[in-house]
Amino acid sequence: MINPEFLLSFLGASFLIAVAPGPSNAFLMAQTFANGRKAGMQSAFGFALGGVVHTFFAVVGLTAILKASTVAYTTVQYLGAAYLCYLGIMTLKDTFTQPESECDEKPHVSTSKKQNVMFQAMMTEVLNPKVALFFIAFIPQFVDPSLSSTTFQLAFFGLLYPLFAFPIDCTYIYFGDKIASYFRDHPQTQIWIDRITGLVFIALAINLLI
C-alpha cells in the first residue's frame, strides 16, 4: 500500500526533475538531432531500463555501497565518463572518416553510432553514480514506514519514476525531431550535427566528473 499524499508529492517532484534540462535530456536531444526520432525513442527506452536497473540496485542495497565507499563511487564515475567520452570520440571520428560524396548521396543516413542506441543510453544511465545516489536519496523520502513493506515501496517508486518520465522524454523527442528535420534535409549540415553530438557526449563525460 502507498500513502496517497506521498504519491502525489512524488509525482509533482518527479515532473519537475524530468522536465528540467539535464545530462539525460542532453543525450536524448543529441541522439534525436543526429539520428532522428527513432534513435530518440531508443534513448528514452534505454534511460527507462537504466532506471529499472538502479531501482534493483537500490532495493538490494548495492547503491548504498556507492554512497558509503568513495572508491566504489569514483570507480563507477570514471567508468561512466570514459564510456561517454568514447561515444563522443567515435561520433567525431565518423564525421571525419565518412566520404563527403557519401553524405551528398545519403542525406538521411546516419553513421554507425546509430546502432545500439538503447544500450548506449542504458549504460550511460547505469554508469552515472549521480543517478544511483538520486535513487537512494530521493525515493526513500516518499516511503511511509507505517504502511506496507519498505522494500515494496522503494521498488514501486523506483519503477514509477522511469514510467512517469518516459512520456516527458517523448515530448522532448517530438519537438527536437521537428527542429532537426530541416537540418537533416541538408547533407552538409548533418555532418555538423553529428560533430556537435560528439562534443555533447564529451561534455557530458566532463560533467559527470564535476
Q: Is 63 exposed, middle or buried (0-12, 13-18, 19+ CB in 10 A)?
A: buried
pLDDT at 117 over 70: yes
* 102-113 tens-digit pLDDT: 444 433 334 444
Is the pLDDT score of 182 beyond 70?
no
Helices of type H across the chain: 4-19, 23-35, 37-60, 62-68, 70-97, 100-105, 117-126, 129-138, 150-184, 187-209
Report pLDDT for 98.
Answer: 54
pLDDT band at 46 (very low <50, low <70, confident <90, very high): very high
For residues 79 and 129, give the distance between their C-alpha atoms in angstroms, rounded to a whole number.
10
pLDDT at 33 over 80: yes
Q: What value does the mean pLDDT take over residues 182-197?
A: 68
Please state, in angstroms and rounded to a whole number, the distance separating the CA atoms of residues 43 and 48: 9
- The average pLDDT across 64-81 equals 78
- For helices 4-19 and 150-184, what crossing angle results, to 10°? 30
Q: Report whether pLDDT(126) > 50.
A: yes
Query: Cell 568514447 appears where?
Result: 86
Mean of the per-residue pLDDT values for the chain?
A: 79
Report for 73-77, 94-98, 148-152, 162-166: range of highest mean pLDDT = 162-166
